[in-house]
Chains A and B, each alone.
Chain A
């Protein structure tokens, strides 16, 4: 999962996108692009923000690394340590709890043999309980990669673990579960 520091560099295409986003803001305000660019960096460099990655982002913005660290650590979507390729984030707030997410979470823990917040040994799965994702009417639900998987059942969890544990799993794709 560790990427050699010398390889931490956006492709030309990504760099153009980063510049385009920075250009949306008025003169001298390009720091506004920091959150979107950190998302791009996280995705490109192994789904988490290591210190060298954050330093690289700071160099693009010509700001001090600390300005990136303080932002990255504030927001829950930036992973400060490596996560599995399939990162399942279950909403566990009140409305989802009323709709039985706890049973689904427990079932997933048993099936994968890990607890919430942990990663499987093969680094394929990380599971975590998070707070309201704005899908309360379609509970129980989880975010996996770019998408939401809603109205979860134990059968759907079986399918997810089966499909998303494969080598060709693509977190940017919305699977029909």
Chain B
């Protein structure tokens, strides 16, 4: 069995209650942190090598150190619980199952950053989880871990849950802050970065749910011990939400560096592709990262086995690699039509574009339309290059990274599965309204492993 730092007690009955969580050693990290100085807490996080679990993988300790401490304004910590990247459902698991872990992480992190009011911005659709979190907050307050002068340390903290209302873009940190101010979720131009001018123009840190929860085991173990787990610069454990055509979809905690083969095929994790089918492609880190055909998923271009880490999954760059991203792991078998799948993603990004920049607003619409045309049998050969061209024109030309996130999956799907797109043109009658892939027809030899 793999090591569990976050989910060790996730299946203990009633672990969502304060009493059971406390009996299992919960809130010991807060007790520890409040006996340290804020700088010492930050130092442990730096030493741990923790990297942001929301998708970008930016070192958390470094991000915290950018926070403007000289400002006269109050400082804010905001927890990003917007979780809307297709394939990603890990933050929800933590908040539903073991909400006190997040609250504990928030208290320790707020102390380190000097935030006296901390917000959890949660996606609007997770309505019932708001209740779970608010109950946990009330329990923690009752036990003296929130409110004024926590454990006699002189540190005050209130945590509030603020729900969004259905907008993927509000996961982007500056759009989130706009939304939290009660406005449309339009991303802001950077700089200034939130660390200087964020919520209400105050210095602000935005971190993902899992990142903040990980501060608990970091303080309990010590940053140095935490850093020993994992591989190279990918330290610690990571939650992976696995879905698609696998035997055991769900949320798994892995040591970073776990071989990808083991993650996909062992019974401890995904349990392999469903019976009678074979792996066709994997999107390892949420819909925004490049898709990989089975062979390039298992091994990089040099023939070395890949493992689940930031570095190994991105080995090969955009030509032959992908990214760990948010940990939204989507495995597809040979029945999945790549064109149709890519079309649903393009529709998603078009729907979610905030509309501020024309390359993103118009480009995502174009990509959706052209992919629809191909999938429904009205496409032309030159449409395929048109898609590549549109994707290129969006990439790098927008205010926020949603434009890139929309462009990359389309570009990667065409790069690795061009024949399948071409087949949709040459055999338009056959593909029309057919939901399945047409593998047997075009006899593309898949590398079977």
Output the residue of A29, A74, A95, A132 with the most chain B CB within 10 A: A95
Asked whether any CB of chain B lies closer than 8 Å to the CB of A53, the reply is no
A54 to B418, CA, bound (A): 49
Contact B182 A33 (CB under 8 A): yes
Q: Which residues of B contact A98 (CB under 8 A)?
A: 244-245, 330, 332, 336, 341
**B17 within 8 A of partner (CB):** no
Name A88-109 residues within 8 Å CB distance of B: 92-95, 97-99, 102
Is B435 an interface residue when CB atoms closer than 8 A count as contact?
Answer: yes
Encode B245-266 as 1/0 by CB contact (under 8 A) with A.
1000111000000000000000
* B residues near A139, Cβ cutoff 8 Å: 243, 249
Tell whether A6 is near chain B: CB-to-CB under 8 Å.
no
Whether a CB of chain B sits under 8 angstroms from the CB of A146 is yes
Complex partner residue of B181 from A29, A78, A97, CB under 8 angstroms: A29
Contact of B200 among A26, A39, A136 (CB under 8 A): A26
Task: Flag if A38 contacts B126 (CB, 8 Å).
Answer: no
A78 partner residues in chain B, CB cutoff 8 A? 165-166
When distances are taken between beta carbons in the complex, the residues of chain B under 8 Å from A38 are 165
Tell me, yes or no, whether A77 is within 8 Å of chain B by CB.
Answer: yes
Verify A131–B168 contact, CB threshold 8 A. Answer: yes
Chain A proximity of B102: nearest CB distance (Å): 16
A134/B249 in contact, CB under 8 A? no
A133 close to chain B: CB less than 8 A: yes
Other-chain residue from B83, B160, B162, B242 in contact with A35 (beta carbon distance below 8 A): B162
Out of B84, B128, B354, which one reaches A134, CB within 8 Å?
B84
A93, B435: Cβ atoms closer than 8 Å: no
B123 at the interface (CB under 8 A from A): yes
Please state if B162 and A36 are interface contacts (CB–CB under 8 Å).
yes
CB distance from A109 to the nearest CB of B (A): 15
Cβ of A31 under 8 Å from chain B: yes
Instruction: Give the docked Cα–Cα distance between A116 and B167 (Å).
Output: 20
Chain B window 117-153, contacts with chain A (Cβ cutoff 8 Å), 1 for yes, 0 for no: 1000001111110000000000000000000000000
Whole-angstrom distance between the Cβ of B125 and the nearest chain A Cβ = 5
B184 close to chain A: CB less than 8 A: yes
Residues of A within 8 A of B55 (CB): none
Distance (Å) between the CB of A24 and the closest chain B CB? 5
By the criterion CB–CB under 8 Å, are B125 and A143 in contact?
A: yes
Other-chain contact of B249, A29, A137, A143 (Cβ < 8 Å) = A137
Q: Is the CB of B128 within 8 A of A95?
A: no
Q: Which residues between 77 and 92 of chain B lie within 8 Å of chain A, taking CB atoms?
A: 83-89, 92
Judged by a CB distance under 8 angstroms, whether B362 is at the interface is no
The complex places the Cα of A143 from the Cα of B166 at a distance, in Å, of 12
Asked if B21 CB lies within 8 Å of chain A CBs, one says no
Instruction: Decide if A134 touches B124 in the complex (CB within 8 Å).
Output: no
Q: Could you tell me which residues of chain B, from 348 to 365, have a CB within 8 Å of some CB in chain A?
A: 348, 351-352, 354
Given contacts A33-B182, A35-B165, contact A93 B336 (CB under 8 A): no
105-124 of chain A: CB within 8 A of chain B: none
* Chain A, 131-171, CB within 8 A of any chain B CB: 131-139, 143, 146-147
B-side interface residues, number (CB < 8 Å): 56
Q: How far, in angstroms, from A174 to B132 measured CA to CA in the complex?
A: 14
Instruction: Tell me if B325 counts as interface (CB < 8 A to partner A).
Output: no
Smallest Cβ-Cβ distance to B126: which chain A residue: A134
Q: A35, B348: Cβ atoms under 8 Å?
A: no
Q: Is the CB of B243 within 8 A of A95?
A: yes
A176 within 8 A of B: no
**What chain A residues lie within 8 Å of B351 (beta carbons)?**
76, 131
Which residue, of B179, B249, B344, has the highest number of chain A Cβ atoms within 10 A?
B344
Choose among A29, A36, A75 the residue that contacts B167 (Cβ–Cβ < 8 A).
A75
* Min CB–CB distance A69 → chain B (angstroms): 11
Report B16 CB to chain A, min CB distance, Å.
15
User: What residues of chain B lie closer than 8 Å to A102, measured between beta carbons?
Assistant: 435
Contact yes or no, A36 B163, CB < 8 A: yes
Q: Compute how far the CA of A138 lies from the CA of B124 in the bound complex, rounded to whole angstroms.
A: 19
Q: A29-B200, A98-B330, A137-B250 are in contact. Are A93 and B86 (CB under 8 A)?
A: yes
* Interface presence of B328 (CB below 8 A): yes
B167 adjacent to A93 (CB under 8 Å): no
Q: Which of B158, B165, B184 contacts A76 (CB 8 A)?
A: B165
CB-CB under 8 A from B354, the residues of chain A are 74
Q: In the complex, how many angstroms separate the beta carbon of A151 from the nearest chain B beta carbon?
A: 10
The digit string for B420-440, where 1 denotes a CB below 8 A from any CB of A, is: 000000000000000100000
List 14 additional contacts besides A24-B117, A77-B165, A132-B85; criterion CB under 8 Å.
A24-B158, A32-B180, A33-B182, A34-B182, A70-B184, A77-B124, A94-B287, A97-B435, A98-B245, A131-B168, A133-B125, A134-B89, A136-B89, A136-B241
A-B contact pairs, 18 of them (CB 8 A): A29-B181, A34-B182, A35-B179, A75-B167, A76-B351, A77-B124, A93-B348, A94-B341, A95-B86, A95-B330, A97-B344, A134-B84, A134-B89, A135-B92, A136-B328, A136-B330, A137-B242, A146-B127
**Chain B residues engaging chain A, CB cutoff 8 angstroms:** 74, 83-89, 92, 117, 123-128, 158, 160, 162-168, 179-185, 200, 241-245, 249-251, 287, 328, 330, 332, 336, 340-341, 344-345, 347-348, 351-352, 354, 435
Query: Residues of A at under 8 Å CB distance from B?
Result: 24, 26, 29, 31-36, 38-39, 70-71, 74-78, 92-95, 97-99, 102, 131-139, 143, 146-147, 174
